Amino acid sequence: MKKILLKSIKRYWFAIFLQIIFIGLNIYFLTYPPKIIGNIIDLLYDLETNQNAIIMQVWYLLGSCMILLGIRMPWRWLAGYIPRSIERDLKDKLFEQFMRIKMASLQNIKNGELMSYFVKDITEIRKFIYRLMSHGTRFVFTIMIATFTMMSGVNIYLTLVTLCPIILTIFLIIKIKEYVESSFRKSQKYFTDLSEYVQESTDAIRTTKAYTGEMNQLKEFIRKNRRLREANNAVDVHSTLLSTCLNICFGLCYGISLLYGSKLVLEGVITTGDFVAFNGYIGLFVGPVSWIPGVISYYKRAKISYQRLDNVFELEKEKILPKVPAKEDDFQGNIEIRDLSFNYPENLEMVLSHINIKINKGETLGIIGTIGSGKTTLMNLLLRLYPVPDEKIKIDGKDINEIPLLTLRNHICYITQDNFLFSTSLKENIKLFKDGFEDEEVKESTKNAMVYDDIEKMQNGIDTIIGERGVDLSGGQKQRVVISRAFLNKSKVVIFDDTFSALDNKTEQMVLNNVKELVKDKTCIIISNRISDIKDANQIIVLDGGNIIESGTHETLLNKQGKYYNFYKEQTAKSQMALN
Ligand SMILES: Nc1ncnc2c1ncn2[C@@H]1O[C@H](COP(=O)(O)OP(=O)(O)OP(=O)(O)O)[C@@H](O)[C@H]1O
Ligand SMILES: [Mg+2]
């Protein structure tokens, strides 16, 4: 995170440098109007003699105002440009990081939390950079330039006595800020909590409605929302305390200046013009000092956000880039799994135990098993979505860990169980991050997946955008759109993870026939709990609780009269009942 931030700051160093120069000039020229007004007041004593000098001073006043205008415009523009540019860089890098984090780490981050990194944390950092650049720098310059002008131009003792309350107030502010920080931390936590809740509730809206859970969801939302409001109120109370402190401070400054300053005027130590200018100079401090709590507050918030983001940036990334140039011909798709056992990180329970499988190029493996028996997990390992122990999975005789991720994943087409579709066109969903396919090829793949007719009926065909204007697909349509990817993809290994479950028997048979044709010289894995999907596979394994309890061809497994046979009996009985 530090590196990313520094790199971004380095990128905009010239803009930052310019802004500092503009701020310095702005403060310097701000000391001119009080000084000129003081001069005019002193010249007013002898109006006749000083007439020309007064006119000159008025010109100076106008001139300094024009210069100030000229400085402020580019400075204000830069003040917005720099933090927004750094924010953009951070968002790009954070998204890149999310894309590359290892699944094992990513699964601990909830969706709502992910959003709050983008929406809240990066914004906090931008706001702090803005405050630091414009307010913090102005504070430093004001202290230096205005104090020097007051001391050298008016009176050193008057300056020191008048500015005493400011120093005391700064200490007080820092103390009160500790309370602001703790209340802000709470508010941020509740905000994340609420975002996560909204995210989850919207994802689950169908289930909630189906189970009439709206009121329960609403009640919980109201509770969380109220808790957030209370935390925000606490932040406001502490912030108000701070501004009150500031008002008292400046009241004291002006009071001291009036009392001690007028005494000095009466004693003839300073002129009336100096006295007026001095009060003008005090005015220069009001803004910068009142911004200090803001800068500290934003610093504390940004610090918390920085730590949160830093934790994400520290998460281990996948090494996606190939170490060696991937030669397509190297990859054949002969898979051998030898004594593979696996448990998910942070979960000691074994999900797969002593798995042994051998599939040669051109063969099909069928996997059947109870719910949660580890079927998807085994596929996750074939794609190295989770760390695979060395020498347990070999592809074409090579340890899977030695194969560059990009090569491995490019050669495996994994049709996942969740049928996830992005809110983009059907065409893009089928091509899925891969370019170089003609529309005709995409259409051909939808024909093979038996979804072509459904798509043709839609107004924009394969260009129909999913999720827009009510275009949503049925479960079976979604499955077939997802299956189309397998027909388009030129990969050497194809995996179907429970992707035929929503199809009716007739469509399923037609899709399976096309799949058979497709995988003639590929390695294919079909996970399904329907015997009809896997019965023609060269080899079938039955998974139960992470163990292979049976394996063989359809016929040998039926002869064994074990679990597979039971599945078969159950399913034939069901289809008999359906026919009657
Ligand atoms: N990301 C994960 N982190 C921790 N445990 C997980 C994770 N994914 C799955 N599991 C656990 O691993 C076991 C196997 O899950 P898996 O998804 O591989 O089963 P499956 O055979 O594909 O089930 P299904 O038939 O429902 O698709 C389950 O007990 C599940 O709770
Ligand atoms: Mg599964």
Ligand 1 atom closest to Cα of residue 543: 21
- Sequence-ordered list of residues with C-beta below 8 angstroms from that of 291, at least 6 positions apart, any chain: 131, 135, 136, 138, 139
Instruction: Check if 380 has its Cβ closer than 6 Å to any atom of ligand 1.
Output: no
Measured by CA distance, the residue closest to atom 9 of ligand 1 is 377
Please give the residue range of the domain that contains residue 504: 328-579
Q: Which of 370, 376, 549 to mutate to test the pocket of ligand 1 (most atoms within 8 A of CB)?
A: 376
Which of 271, 289, 314 finishes a domain?
314
Instruction: Check if 375 has its Cβ closer than 6 Å to any atom of ligand 1.
Output: yes
Q: Are residues 463 and 564 in the same domain?
A: yes
pTM of the model: 0.71
Q: Are residues 531 and 393 in the same domain?
A: yes
Distance 106 CA to ligand 2 centre (A): 19
The pLDDT of residue 354: 93
In DSSP notation, 317-338 reads: BP--S-SSPPPGGG----EEEE
Instruction: Check if 376 has its Cβ closer than 6 Å to any atom of ligand 1.
Output: yes
CA 7 from chain centre, in angstroms, equals 19
Instruction: Check if 334 has its Cβ closer than 6 Å to any atom of ligand 1.
Output: no
| Ligand closest to the CA atom of residue 348 | 1
In DSSP notation, 29-43 reads: HHTHHHHHHHHHHHH
Q: Are residues 345 and 209 in the same domain?
A: no
Which of 314, 340, 360 finishes a domain?
314
Instruction: Check if 138 has its Cβ closer than 6 Å to any atom of ligand 1.
Output: no
CB count in 10 Å sphere of residue 230: 13
Distance 502 CA to ligand 2 centre (A): 15
Distance 374 CA to ligand 1 centre (A): 6
Phi, psi of 361 (to 5 degrees): -50, 135
Q: Are residues 199 and 231 in the same domain?
A: yes
Kind plus residue range of the DSSP H or E element containing 10: helix 2-11
Ligand 1 atom closest to Cα of residue 377: 18
Report the domain count for the chain: 2
Distance 417 CA to ligand 2 centre (A): 6
Instruction: Check if 215 has its Cβ closer than 6 Å to any atom of ligand 1.
Output: no
Instruction: Check if 374 has its Cβ closer than 6 Å to any atom of ligand 1.
Output: yes
Q: Are residues 388 and 485 in the same domain?
A: yes
Tell me whether residue 321 is in a domain. no
Ligand 1 atom closest to Cα of residue 373: 21
Tell me whether residue 319 is in a domain. no
Which of 267, 292, 314 finishes a domain?
314
Q: Are residues 284 and 350 in the same domain?
A: no
Instruction: Check if 386 has its Cβ closer than 6 Å to any atom of ligand 1.
Output: no
Q: Are residues 413 and 530 in the same domain?
A: yes
Q: Are residues 50 and 150 in the same domain?
A: yes
Which CATH number goes with the domain that contains 387? 3.40.50.300
Q: Are residues 344 and 287 in the same domain?
A: no
Q: Are residues 216 and 337 in the same domain?
A: no
Tell me whether residue 57 is in a domain. yes
What's the CA gap between 113 and 1, in Å, rounded? 18
- Indicate the DSSP class of residue 425: B
The pLDDT of residue 321: 55
Ligand 1 atom closest to Cα of residue 498: 27
Which CATH number goes with the domain that contains 263? 1.20.1560.10
Tell me whether residue 348 is in a domain. yes
Instruction: Check if 345 has its Cβ closer than 6 Å to any atom of ligand 1.
Output: no
Ligand 1 atom closest to Cα of residue 379: 18
Tell me whether residue 256 is in a domain. yes
Order of strands across the sheet with 493-497? 412-415, 493-497, 523-527, 364-369, 539-544, 547-552
Distance 499 CA to ligand 1 centre (A): 16
Tell me whether residue 456 is in a domain. yes
Measured by CA distance, the residue closest to atom 3 of ligand 1 is 344
Tell me whether residue 98 is in a domain. yes
The pLDDT of residue 329: 58
Distance 296 CA to ligand 1 centre (A): 47
- What residues pair up with 365 in beta bridges, in sequence order? 525, 539
Q: Which of 351, 378, 419 to mutate to test the pocket of ligand 1 (most atoms within 8 A of CB)?
A: 351
pLDDT averages per 10-residue partition of the chain, 580 residues: 90 93 91 88 83 90 93 91 94 90 78 78 93 88 87 86 84 78 84 89 83 88 95 86 82 89 90 88 82 81 90 82 56 91 86 93 92 92 90 91 86 87 85 82 90 88 73 82 89 91 86 89 92 91 93 92 90 72
The pLDDT of residue 13: 93
Instruction: Check if 445 has its Cβ closer than 6 Å to any atom of ligand 1.
Output: no
Distance 414 CA to ligand 2 centre (A): 12
Tell me whether residue 323 is in a domain. no
Distance 344 CA to ligand 1 centre (A): 9
Is the separation of the CB atoms in 526 and 496 below 8 Å?
yes
Q: Are residues 79 and 153 in the same domain?
A: yes
Per-residue CA distances from 200 to 196, 444, 466 (Å): 6, 37, 21
Ligand 1 atom closest to Cα of residue 107: 1
Q: Are residues 289 and 414 in the same domain?
A: no
- Indicate the DSSP class of residue 389: P
